Amino acid sequence: MSDIAELIVAALADHGVTQVWGVVGDALNPITDAIRRHDGIEWIGVRHEEAAAFAAGAQAQMTGRIGVCMGTVGPGSIHLLNGLYDAKKSHAPVLAICGQVPTPDIGSDFFQEVNNDVLFADVADFAQTITSPGQLPQLLEQAVNIAYAEQESRCSRCPETSARSRSRTTGRRSSPRNPPRWRHRPIRSRPPQMC
């Protein structure tokens, strides 16, 4: 597994990746160890995988290069979803590397197993489980190319600014000279309820 991890890290470095965001876990330990030994890539540990995905997306938007985040088996991968949806809507190229249970145990209802291909089908333009080392170079190259292609082929449109929209509370147009007035309702406290 360490040879595969070394290949993954070398390929990421070849694509200009300088940081990888995530939370460590058993399925990702070989990759985080390979990152530790690599001079060009920095591992940035976060408290929650969601923050890793948001950070990778923000980094991709700011630099124009692919952002990388990692989550381990089951809940670790699931927690990446919010940040990945944000990256999708922002057209930011993000690569999410997810851990999985051992290959012989896939489909056996193994502890914390989720079907990552199904889980990421809606949010990812490319989702593939690597089941053998020979698949790695081609699939990683394909994933990176698709991430960049999707970024370039879509344009982001902004809705009308609030200066052109009517204020809901006053019915008048808002502008820097005429800011919207919001109606504030007092918060009424409720007595505690017993269940």
Q: Does residue 116 have a pLDDT over 90?
A: no
Q: Does residue 189 have a pLDDT over 70?
A: no
Q: Does residue 191 have a pLDDT over 60?
A: no
Residue 184 within any structural domain of the chain: no
Q: Highest-confidence range of 2-6, 64-68, 170-174, by mean pLDDT?
A: 64-68
Share of the chain above pLDDT 90, in %: 32
Q: Phi and psi dihedrals of 42, rounded to 5? A: -110, 135
Residue 165 within any structural domain of the chain: no
Alpha carbons 135 and 65: distance in angstroms, whole number: 24
Whether 58 contacts 28, CB under 8 Å: no
Please name every residue paired with 21 in a beta bridge, in sequence order, or none if there are none: 44, 69
Alpha carbons 23 and 45: distance in angstroms, whole number: 6
Q: What is the average per-residue pLDDT within 112-118?
A: 78
Element (H, E) at 22: strand 19-22
What is the secondary structure of 37-83 as a DSSP string? Answer: H-SS-EEEE-SSHHHHHHHHHHHHHHHSSPEEEEE-TTHHHHTTHHH
Residue 194 within any structural domain of the chain: no
Write the CA distances from 51 to 70, 95, 105, 117, integer angstroms: 11, 14, 29, 21
At residue 188, the pLDDT reads: 43
What CATH number is associated with residue 62? 3.40.50.970
Helix (H/G/I), strand (E/B), else coil: 95: strand
Residue 166 within any structural domain of the chain: no
Read off the pLDDT of residues 131-162 as tens digits, 9 standing for 90 and up: 777 887 788 888 888 877 766 433 333 333 33
Q: What is the average per-residue pLDDT within 46-51?
A: 94
Q: Highest-confidence range of 24-28, 62-66, 155-159, by mean pLDDT?
A: 62-66
For residue 94, the enclosing domain spans: 2-153
Alpha carbons 7 and 141: distance in angstroms, whole number: 12
Query: With a threshold of 0.75, does the pTM exceed it?
Result: no
Q: Does residue 67 have a pLDDT over 90?
A: yes
Q: How many domains does the chain have?
A: 1
